[in-house]
Structure 1
Amino acid sequence: MSALLNGEPEGCRSLIPGGCSTRVPGRFPPPGGIEVELDHGPSLATRWFNGTVTGQARVVEALQRIAYLLERAREPTYRVRAFRNAAATISALGDDELRGRVQAGTLTELRGIGKVTAEVVTEALSGETPVYLRRLEATGGQPVAEGGAEIRAALRGDLHTHSDWSDGGSPIADMVAAAQALGHEYIALTDHSPRLTVANGLSAERLRRQLDALAELNAGSGGIRVLTGIEVDINEDGSLDQSDDLLGRLDVVVASVHSKLRMPQEEMTRRMVTAIANPHVDVLGHCTGRLVTGGRGTRPESAFDAEVVFAACARFGVAVEINSRPERLDPPKRLLRLAVEAGCQFAVNTDAHAPGQLDWQPYGCERAAACGVPLENIVNTWAVQDLLSWTAQQS
């Protein structure tokens, strides 16, 4: 995994994703060789602090769980990073040194440990549920949405995620571990394409390096398949922001509009249909580009002929993404119902930029169920080989 960890910016490299409400238990070896089992249930705090996990492992899990819940709540990256960095620091300590520093009150002398994280460490080590974690569990530890249970149970993976190779906040290893903890059989890494410089889009050379890293990761991973992918920009003329050669090497291609969102309707329709007809495209990402809430403010939908666009998706076998990000929830329900009527296939994705955001899929499942999306038409309910056979047919 050296290429994966050393080829791009560093972050917290723990393979514990911080805990989550899991469908399938998993075991993950974080740095230091401590093995912790992630369990079922809406909150892991009970198991952490009932004596079955002790010492350093309990502290690391508490810090990671806090980071996870902050990510899920869309808190600022710097706040999340403070807890992930603290977890990495504690992971490198021996249990005796950790207890000694807590007793001596010298935790804050360590790089990555501040006043707040030191309080969490101290409380967790003593066997208490840290106040910070208790507060987060009360406000954000429950399932994000209640509907769409049948679809949630059938999902096998997520086809739109980002890492710190582009504008995500965490290394690939952390994203993969969180996906496995959620019970996913596969996850597609779809970092941005070069034109989107504001999101640190991958040049052709960086994408090649990422493909090498993912091949190395898949060779040593157990149980979960990391699919190669990209969220490729749809240029103004409908062409794609990456070479055909590289797009042809990828398992999953999500094509999205990120620029000139206010194009006239006829031009936007032509732009989108041209991209949909490209044989490399598998999924049409967040089709309206709208933002309904969040720190970036709101943004209206792009204008396009939805009947024409969805007819093209159905004709060319391109799945319409049901984007589960709370600030997007794209497409809106009226368009989602129109896509169902057009006979489209769908992908319920998170567009996650951090491990905790992988837990947003229930938002999309709830909307899919409400709009009558047939379960068999959701491509990420399929087994990985069936999915890959489908994407191969696209190109």
Structure 2
Amino acid sequence: MDPVTALRRIAFLLERSRQPTYRVKAFRTAAAILGDLTVEDLDARVHARTLTELAGIGPKTAAVAYEAAAGDTPAYLVGLQDEMGELTEAGHEIRGALRGDLHTHSDWSDGGSPIQEMAVTGLELGHEYQAMTDHSPRLTVANGLTPARLRKQLGVVGAVNAALDQENSGFRLLTGIEVDINEDGTLDQEPELLAELDIVVASVHSKLRADSRTMTTRMLRAIDDPHIDILGHCTGRLVTGGRGTRPESDFDSAAVFAACAERGVAVEINSRPERFDPPRRLLREAVDAGCLFSIDTDAHAPGQLDWQVYGCERAEECGVPVDRIVNTWPVEQLLEWAGRDR
């Protein structure tokens, strides 16, 4: 294990276990700094024990680098791996059937890591594909992407794919967006631009306490839009976490799930521990309604990409048929489905 790999692995495990951001940042920063050095410069600094002379490298991250360079698994990493173990006892069969993750964020909106780091981590987790779905313009608190910024991001995604193709990775980073469902049910991005994307996740992020009739009308109009592929975290609830708790939105679930089934829109099983959305009773209702599903992490950091098994566990509990989970499909079948109405 080389020093950069060791530092990245520690950061991944800290993110996975929801440790404070400052702890994660120390290891990700150190990995980036050492990753920019030539092999010769890194070897020389390791030999001279001068890593802490580099801005951003502290005693703890330097110690990890020195141990890794010596051919040892760093003690701090060993401790983290022994402490954490498996996230769940169930859901692993469905997790094994998944080919990708269709809801992820980068530092282009409110995520914490570059697009390249998110993609490489998805590849390391065994994904065949992963969608980059940063927020849309209206969500200014999350630095949502204007049309101009989203077009620029498409070029970055293309460059990441070109680099991975050179390595014959077999991995594809899909273009996408988590687009806000506006109060009138329209989608918060130019329709022509939405039509260019591989995957469109549409979510409600505002006026979550609206009455049932208003919310149902809003959601049904969005589901009827030809560009939507996935209905994201449909109730908007928060059950734990630093943002506090929030009750479910009130809407006619029977009407919404019937519309999703009719239009071929997948209901997201959101794996974030603070969301676990939809609740089990609604997930079972969506199964009975004949809906498609997408089990996604909504990851805002690389380590959170490992949370997918949480959604798989809930899917297993609620009897979600594996063949109706769109991200178990090969990428060609997935993209054919996503382009069905565009």
TM-score band by shorter chain is over 0.9
Correspondence 1:207-218 to 2 at 5 A: 207-218=150-161
Q: Deviations over 1:217-250 (max 9, x none)?
A: 3234231111110000011111111011111111
**AA at the equivalent of 1:203:** T
- Among residues 73, 78, 81, which one is paired with 1:134 in the alignment? 78
1:193 maps to: 136
- Among residues 215, 227, 230, which one is paired with 2:177 in the alignment? 230
Q: Is the 8 A contact 1:257 1:289 kept in 2?
A: yes
2:252 matched to 1:308? Answer: no
Q: Is the 8 A contact 1:317 1:394 kept in 2?
A: no
1:179 maps to: 122
Q: What CA RMSD, in Å, does the superposition of the two structures yield over aligned residues?
A: 1.5
Structure 2 distance, partners of 1:125, 1:247, is: 46
1:15 maps to: none
1:31 maps to: none
- Among residues 347, 361, 365, which one is paired with 2:312 in the alignment? 365
Structure 2 distance, partners of 1:394, 1:183, is: 30
**TM-score normalized by the length of structure 1:** 0.82
2:323 maps to: 376
**AA at the equivalent of 2:204:** V
**TM-score normalized by the length of structure 2:** 0.94
- Among residues 19, 32, 40, which one is paired with 1:88 in the alignment? 32
1:202 maps to: 145
Number of residue pairs matched by the alignment: 335
Aligned-pair CA distance for 1:128:
4.3
Structure 2 distance, partners of 1:100, 1:383, is: 47
Structure 2 distance, partners of 1:243, 1:109, is: 49
Q: Is the 8 A contact 2:34 2:42 kept in 1?
A: no
2:104 matched to 1:161? Answer: yes
Instruction: Sort the Cα spacing of 1:158 and 1:96 in 2 relative to 1 into closer, same or farther, 3 A.
Output: closer
2:229 matched to 1:282? Answer: yes
Instruction: Sort the Cα spacing of 1:235 and 1:342 in 2 relative to 1 into closer, same or farther, 3 A.
Output: same
Question: How many percent identity over aligned positions?
Answer: 64
Structure 1, unmatched stretches of 5+, are 1-47, 49-56
1:12 maps to: none
Structure 2 distance, partners of 1:206, 1:345, is: 31
2:89 maps to: 146
1:79 maps to: 23
- Among residues 199, 203, 206, which one is paired with 1:259 in the alignment? 206
Q: Is the 8 A contact 2:117 2:302 kept in 1?
A: yes
1:330 maps to: 277
**AA at the equivalent of 2:280:** K
Q: In structure 1, the residue corresponding to 2:56 is in which secondary structure?
A: coil
Structure 1 residues 124-133 or 228-237, which shifts more? 124-133
